[in-house]
Copies of this chain bind each other. A is one copy, B any other.
C-alpha cells in the first residue's frame, strides 16, 4: 500500500484541490458577472449579452461576420443570430452587404450603437475598477499571468482527446 499512499500524498486522485480552485474561480466570475448584468439593466436597460456583442463590434470597426462573433463570444451560432436580430430592431447594428461570399453577413455598429456603447463602456470600466480596487497591484499582475497559463492549459486539454 505504500505506493498508493505515497502517490496519494502528492497526486491525490480525488482532485479536491483543483475542484476547490475551480469553484473559487467560478464564484468570482459569477459574482462579477451578476453584478454587471444587473447594473447594465438598471442603468442602461440593456442585457449583458447585447453589451458583449456590441463590445466585440466596437473593437472591429470594419464589422464582423456572425461566425466571427460566435467564436469570439464563445457562444453558439444560433445565439448570435437572435442577438443580432434584436439589436437590428433597436438600430444599434447594421448589416453590411457582402459581395464576395453571400453566405456570410457582416455586422457593425451604427452611429447610435457607438454612442450607446461609449456611455455603457465608461460605466463598465468604472465598476470593474471599483471591484478590483482592494486587490493589490502586484497580485493583479500575477493573476493576469497565471490566468494566461490556465487558459493555455485548458485549451491544451480540450484539444486533446
Contacts and interface: CB of A to CB of B under 8 A. Distances in A.
Interface in A1-54: 14-22, 24-35
A118 to B, nearest CB: 12
A72 to B, nearest CB: 10
A contact face: mostly helix, strand, loop, or mixed: helix
How many copies altogether?
2
A158 interface: yes
Interface centre among A125, A126, A139 (most CB of B within 10 A): A125
Nearest to A11: B129
Interface string A37-79: 0000000000000000000000000000000000000100000
Nearest to A132: B18
Contact of A30 (B74, B133, B148, B153): B74
B19 A154 contact: no
Contacts of A103: none
Contact of A31 (B35, B124, B140, B158): B158
Contacts of A139: 146, 149
Given A15-B129, A16-B125, A26-B29, A21 B143 contact: yes
Interface of A: 14-22, 24-35, 74, 124-126, 128-136, 139-140, 142-144, 146-158
Given A18-B129, A19-B125, A30-B74, 5 more contacts: A25-B28, A31-B155, A132-B153, A133-B157, A139-B146
